[in-house]
Structure 1
């Protein structure tokens, strides 16, 4: 039974008890008062009649006339005159009961009227006796009217008290509902605070709940700070705060293997000339400052390309991984970097005008990591023979780049002609069972060749077609789910998630394919997730009713503070392959993965490792608590 209903029952019960008590006391008091008043009325009228008769002749006609005159006033039940012998000379009586008064009421509160008597004298002798009995019907009417008014008043007071109590309950209930919502949010891994109410008792409870939420948030913040510190220690250069060699090599391996990357690009190696001499001439502190300025200059020119990665590989070498940068564009870009570095000489950060040289290696998907590195080292060696030189080495032409208009025509035409296809790659759990398959979009060109997503997605993003392509991927995924029994994971861009029109169309698709929608896993790149935190939370609220899971891919790829995962109710994290490559020989990344697994388990999230290459890496990851894996080793395990 609800509290409000219990309060109403209490109000009704109290009202009835109050009415019963007041009714009994009031009726008995009023009855006694009326009985006294009726007796006084009877006695007074008997005395007045006796006095009048004593002054008149004592014949029967006169007595009858005077008795009748008093009786006809209508207030008396009985008027009687008897002589000294007790003979009734005149008697008038009216025993009719009052109309409008229930019989049960008169039986419950009977009114007993005392008769008034007076002696009639004839000179000095007694002539007779007058008996007058006031009628009780007016008393009953008055008593009943008072009872009815009391009932109305008590009911009105009870109703008013109930309304006031209901309003008070609603006022008190508001913070209670907020506390319930807060408790439910905690169970859903969302931590919110609420305003303290005015009710003192509830204020203490709310304050305790808010304190608990604040402590939980602090705990998560501490865990996030610890993960960030571990990530920085394991994968950042301590002087320049750029990525270190291990992280850079992991990303380069991904760029050569992962279809999400552009199908071609360039690796740029910068070697600072005579760093040892600069250190000797200027001192260690000035040399360190010089390296920090170099890192800042390089980062400022590549900051707008979130898929590029800048790293300090060793003391004098910097590396820039530039997916999508063509071999034709790379030398000009490198010379622009050198021109910006020349400013360091003008502002006297260094005393050397020959600052460095660039070696550039163009690559394509499928190239071996060692081949690309060797090509870049050879280019750098050739560049060192000349001051501020740039050398590019490439053993094959990269795919021709279409202009924006051609890409728009190609993509829109493919959407109209349904020329998009999907491929998928397995994601396994700890027991090598299929968790889901990652869906990748492919574009079938007019000549029959297939373009991977990394080839056309950057152009689609620049042309504003990402929501359309993402919706097409979901449509193809739902068609695929109609044929298979396993779940599918689909990557969505942050642009699409923030587009309300896209989300509306997506929800409409899910509604039409409700049976298949529960096997969809939606994931967003960590970079987009970082920028669209609220959009991702709102997106989750829209699609979760259909059974869809929400996750983050490439988690940890971009340096920066870890987002507040507990606000998003995520289902899984895919840890970026940059941390996974060679993890069996990298204790720092092992500590980082263990910390990520810990914070994920605290939020009831699944952790999946990306880009696992061999069983040695997976064994270490499994010991660290990672629950799923993908990459070449997972594909080989499933096929085997």
Structure 2
């Protein structure tokens, strides 16, 4: 029984005991008083009647007439006169009549009044002894009314006391619930502060809990800051703050190889005439020019959700995930670079830009060579110019493709492939799902990533995500022995309330399968839509499913805001794993990430592992599991 119910029970029992005790004491006092009054009345009436008969020197006939006249008034239960020899001269006894007072009440509270007795005499001669008992009906009626009124008064007092007790309990219950919720949140790895209650005992408890949460938050913030320093030192250029060449090429290779990639555009940017500016301005001013250049690139990278890097002395790169908006990004970038470098470079050319589109499976060296050629061609013009590598191929009609996607989803032309995620001992933890669609009558299955651009434009990603979840839940229901399935959700789905509502209905309708479902959201989406993601995680965890972050590490400087979400797992981005055995800084960074995540109760997995050397480095870093080309099906 909860403490709240125990307190309620204590209040109810104490109130009942107090009311019953007060009722019993008052009733017994009233009965005692009425009994005494009846006894006194019996004695007084008997004395008065005997005196009246003695003064009249009444004979037996006179006594009988007088007694009968008095008895007929109805106030007496018994009047008896007995002569000195014990012979009854007259006796009047009231017949039993229907009572207005319950019989059980009379039996429970009898009024045992003492009969009144007096001597009747005529001169010095004793005529007889008079015994008189008053009718107790009126006394019982008075006692009954008194008890009823007392019960009503005490009942009203009890209700008022219960109301006041409820208010007091509510005053205690609300802050107590806040403290309990905070404790539950901590157990679920959500570290939140609560308002301090005014109740002294709860106030001390709340202060202690808040102090613990504050210390944990501070610890996680310090750990995040330390890890961010490690990440930057391993992957970023110390002068400009942009990604270094190694990290950028890893990101580019990951974009070309990853199953879920939606394409993108590579921009290579060269600072015009840097050697001449360096000789003319000197190293400090030349460095300032590079910093100004980098600041513009960083700003446009943030706006386009791109990755900016310094890949050479005066060469920079920008990896734009959206292939359709790359021309606009390049034009605005060139304009901003010209403006930013003008104070130091004068009126001469400021930058040359080459660009080319990414395609999955494309050779990275070939792509870099093509885009570098385009950048050299732009430089050859001697002016601020943009050149694109290759010829842009025409695209399908997006509206027709969107209709085909809707048709495929409606008619079940969707299937799911899965790939193992193993722990470091080779045991299956869960399987990653990849969705494919068959559009029209092509009889060809195509990965969902091919339609991501159209899906985002026509808001079809939530529909595709729901279809993937239905397939996963169906497979989990049909295969009870399957450890689990993971589905990666799009950023748009997480932010849509209608999607969350349909998702929760699906999970509640498949509770057993939902406990083995892993839902993964890209780190960038979680950081950009933090409140929506917080609500999403809270809803998902109530159904028993697991929630986590994918592509983790790219936005690590912002993840300190995620420590109170109660996540179940992190999947580190493949760009941090690639060539891990050769990067001591990245090894230290990932080891610290795993340690911090384990302290918050999360599991840590790595994506995109391509060889056993990376696998060994991840095991040394303390990871819980891996996926990628190097991970084979468990035997």
TM-score under structure 2 length normalisation:
0.83
Q: Deviations over 1:182-217 (max 9, x none)?
A: 333332233445555554444444444444444444
Residue range with higher mean Cα deviation, 371-380 or 514-523? 371-380
Q: How many Å separate the matches in 2 of 1:611 and 1:106?
A: 88
Question: 1:343–1:516: structure 2 CA closer, same or farther, 3 Å change rule?
Answer: same
Whether 1:185 and 2:172 are equivalent positions in the alignment is: no
Unaligned runs of 5+ in 2: none
Asked whether the 8 Å contact 2:515–2:543 carries over to 1, the reply is yes
Whether 1:526 and 2:523 are equivalent positions in the alignment is: yes
State the match for 1:472 in structure 2: 467
State the match for 1:295 in structure 2: 294
Whether 1:305 and 2:320 are equivalent positions in the alignment is: no
State the match for 1:344 in structure 2: 340
State the match for 1:461 in structure 2: 456
Count of aligned residue pairs for this structure pair? 621
State the match for 1:116 in structure 2: 118
Q: How many Å separate the matches in 2 of 1:623 and 1:253?
A: 24
The within-5 A match list for 1:236-635 is: 236-263=236-263, 265-271=265-271, 273-274=273-274, 277-278=277-278, 281=281, 284=284, 286-306=285-305, 308-323=306-321, 325=323, 334=330, 337-346=333-342, 348-351=343-346, 353-360=348-355, 363-373=358-368, 387-388=382-383, 400-412=394-406, 414-415=408-409, 420-444=414-438, 451-478=446-473, 481=476, 485=482, 487-510=484-507, 516-544=513-541, 547-558=544-555, 560-562=557-559, 564-634=561-631
Question: 1:132–1:479: structure 2 CA closer, same or farther, 3 Å change rule?
Answer: closer
Q: Deviations over 1:555-612 (max 9, x none)?
A: 1223541154344332211111222222223333333323322332233222111122
Deviation at 1:547, TM superposition (A): 4.3
Asked whether the 8 Å contact 2:300–2:329 carries over to 1, the reply is no
Q: How many Å separate the matches in 2 of 1:440 and 1:578?
A: 20
State the match for 2:234 in structure 1: 234
3-state SS of 2:555 partner:
coil
Q: How many Å separate the matches in 2 of 1:19 and 1:615?
A: 85
State the match for 2:32 in structure 1: 28
3-state SS of 1:561 partner:
helix
State the match for 1:135 in structure 2: 133
3-state SS of 1:638 partner:
coil
Asked whether the 8 Å contact 2:520–2:548 carries over to 1, the reply is yes
3-state SS of 1:489 partner:
strand
Deviation at 1:525, TM superposition (A): 1.3
Asked whether the 8 Å contact 1:273–1:357 carries over to 2, the reply is no
Asked whether the 8 Å contact 2:67–2:79 carries over to 1, the reply is no
Deviation at 1:321, TM superposition (A): 1.8
Deviation at 1:336, TM superposition (A): 5.2
Q: How many Å separate the matches in 1 of 2:388 and 2:192?
A: 56
Asked whether the 8 Å contact 1:27–1:147 carries over to 2, the reply is no
Unaligned runs of 5+ in 1: none
Asked whether the 8 Å contact 2:577–2:608 carries over to 1, the reply is yes
Deviation at 1:228, TM superposition (A): 3.5
Q: How many Å separate the matches in 2 of 1:406 and 1:533?
A: 34
Deviation at 1:542, TM superposition (A): 4.8
3-state SS of 1:594 partner:
helix
TM-score under structure 1 length normalisation:
0.82
Q: How many Å separate the matches in 2 of 1:639 and 1:24?
A: 85
Deviation at 1:255, TM superposition (A): 1.2
Asked whether the 8 Å contact 2:267–2:353 carries over to 1, the reply is no
3-state SS of 2:426 partner:
coil
Deviation at 1:441, TM superposition (A): 2.9
Q: How many Å separate the matches in 2 of 1:287 and 1:583?
A: 33
Asked whether the 8 Å contact 1:335–1:390 carries over to 2, the reply is no
Q: How many Å separate the matches in 2 of 1:8 and 1:491?
A: 54
Q: How many Å separate the matches in 2 of 1:60 and 1:414?
A: 121
Deviation at 1:434, TM superposition (A): 2.5
Question: 1:6–1:388: structure 2 CA closer, same or farther, 3 Å change rule?
Answer: same
3-state SS of 1:604 partner:
coil
Asked whether the 8 Å contact 1:267–1:363 carries over to 2, the reply is no
Q: How many Å separate the matches in 1 of 2:82 and 2:449?
A: 126
Asked whether the 8 Å contact 1:360–1:390 carries over to 2, the reply is no
Q: How many Å separate the matches in 2 of 1:330 and 1:324?
A: 7
State the match for 1:78 in structure 2: 79
Deviation at 1:361, TM superposition (A): 5.8
Q: Deviations over 1:291-325 (max 9, x none)?
A: 3332232244444432x211223553321123454
Residue range with higher mean Cα deviation, 90-99 or 18-27? 90-99
